[in-house]
Amino acid sequence: MHNQDPIEIAPQSVRFFHQNLFKTLVYFFLLILVLVGAYKALPLVLDAIFLLVIASILTVVLNPMVDRMESSGISRIIGALIVFGGIFSTVGIGIVKGIPALLIEIGRIKDVIQRHTAADSLDSFMNGINTTISQYLPDFQLDTDIISNLSAQFFGQLGSILGGAINTLTTIIFILIITMFFLVDGSRMMKRLIEVVPNRYFEMSLNISYKTKKQLTNFLRGQLLAALGVAVQSVIGLSLLNWIFDANISGVFLIASIAGLANMIPFVGPFMGMAPAIIVSLFNNLGDPVAAANFYYIFHIVVMFFIVQMIDNNVISPIVVSGSMEMHPLTVILLILIGSQIGVLGMFLAVPAWGISKVVVQEVYQGLKGHRLI
């Protein structure tokens, strides 16, 4: 008889291990492929998310207007077109009227700097300012190097900012197209999106999305109304300074718009709004002995913005802004620091973005708690 080697069958656990090892390796390689793909596609995805988020915020702001038009019998698409027509007209007028004024203003500031630089250099001009300051504050001296560096940086970056603005025109057009789709068909899109939610969480998700949308609308509307309030008050205040004290502050509407927008950032915003007015007053009144005697109207401007803030904090904001922006000053500073990593836009958007996230998280938490899921 032929002596045959017995075939050894590996124990089941070992076979199971080998089969699983193969499967695991395949899954591992697939995972690596997916991760590499995701890493490569990440910038594109982030860009798309950014566009969608901005378009969603615009939709939340504009939707009430389209809803109102629909309630008076105008179809949604016509309503959206009317709203967009209004926006384009306003932005168009703003560009036609505002940009030449802005360029003139920048040119004037540049002239002042160049004039003084040519005559007796920027250093001697800064020394002049230091002499004026020393009359009031003997121990205080402005560091001239820092100021000349800052002005060089500002004018150096101005070109790149303008160049970037032209580049972002395509992005703005994309955002407007998406917003148009959201305005006309947003509720149907939302309905399709929410349909995928399992039955168990459906009612809760619908409720959360509705409440979040409502809160966001109130929050953004409140912020914009408060910004508008500050801008209108700033126009009145700066015009009064020009009228009563002959303060020679030009670009009142532009400064007021910046002050209004900056007001969205608590604590720091009012100072950011004040700065352009002080800079313009300083450069417009250089060499004027009356203005120098009045310390370039800086005190007047500070008092005016202080009054605007008082009215905003005690009258306008309590009426129009919901309490969702109650934040610790440290949180605001941290958020602005984080936002500054992205740039000036990041600094502006960090606090409102945090406010929006807070509203969303609050609503989701309340919803989950109400349905006893947490």
Give the interface with another protein as residue ranges (CB under 8 A): 67, 70-71, 187-188, 191, 194-195, 199-200, 202-203, 206-207, 209-210, 370-372
Provide, rounded to whole angstroms, the least separation between the CB of residue 210 and another protein. Answer: 4
Instruction: Compare residues 182 and 297 and give the one whose CB is closer to another protein.
Output: 182
Provide, rounded to whole angstroms, the least separation between the CB of residue 359 and another protein. Answer: 17
Provide, rounded to whole angstroms, the least separation between the CB of residue 207 and another protein. Answer: 5
Provide, rounded to whole angstroms, the least separation between the CB of residue 62 and another protein. Answer: 14
* DSSP structure string for 18-86: HHHHHHHHHHHHHHHHHHHHHHHHHHHHHHHHHHHHHHHHHHHHHHHHHHHHHHTT--HHHHHHHHHHH
d(Cα 106, Cα 124) in Å, to the nearest integer? 22
Instruction: Compare residues 34 and 194 and give the one whose CB is closer to another protein.
Output: 194
Scanning the structure block, which residue is given the tokens 């032209």?
A: 166
227 close to 263: Cβ distance less than 8 angstroms:
yes
Instruction: Compare residues 184 and 335 and give the one whose CB is closer to another protein.
Output: 184
Instruction: Compare residues 54 and 83 and give the one whose CB is closer to another protein.
Output: 83
Provide, rounded to whole angstroms, the least separation between the CB of residue 54 and another protein. Answer: 24
d(Cα 254, Cα 236) in Å, to the nearest integer? 13
What is the rounded (10 degree) CA torsion for 121, 125, 128, 129?
A: -150
For 73, the token pair is: 């019998």
Scanning the structure block, which residue is given the tokens 């820092």?
A: 146
CA-based diameter of the chain, in Å?
A: 125
Task: Assign 137 to helix, strand or coil.
Answer: coil
Provide, rounded to whole angstroms, the least separation between the CB of residue 182 and another protein. Answer: 15
Provide, rounded to whole angstroms, the least separation between the CB of residue 365 and another protein. Answer: 14
Helical segments of 137-262, H only? 144-194, 199-245, 252-262
Instruction: Compare residues 110 and 211 and give the one whose CB is closer to another protein.
Output: 211
d(Cα 354, Cα 332) in Å, to the nearest integer? 9
Provide, rounded to whole angstroms, the least separation between the CB of residue 204 and another protein. Answer: 8
Compute the radius of gyration of the chain from its Cα atoms.
29
130 close to 142: Cβ distance less than 8 angstroms:
yes
Provide, rounded to whole angstroms, the least separation between the CB of residue 305 and another protein. Answer: 38
Instruction: Compare residues 209 and 285 and give the one whose CB is closer to another protein.
Output: 209
10: Cα separation from own chain's centroid: 65
Instruction: Compare residues 207 and 248 and give the one whose CB is closer to another protein.
Output: 207
Instruction: Compare residues 202 and 267 and give the one whose CB is closer to another protein.
Output: 202
Provide, rounded to whole angstroms, the least separation between the CB of residue 367 and another protein. Answer: 8
What is the rounded (10 degree) CA torsion for 332, 308, 104, 151?
A: -40
Instruction: Compare residues 40 and 372 and give the one whose CB is closer to another protein.
Output: 372
Instruction: Compare residues 4 and 199 and give the one whose CB is closer to another protein.
Output: 199
Angle, alpha carbons 168-352-230 (nearest 5°): 90
Task: Assign 342 to helix, strand or coil.
Answer: coil
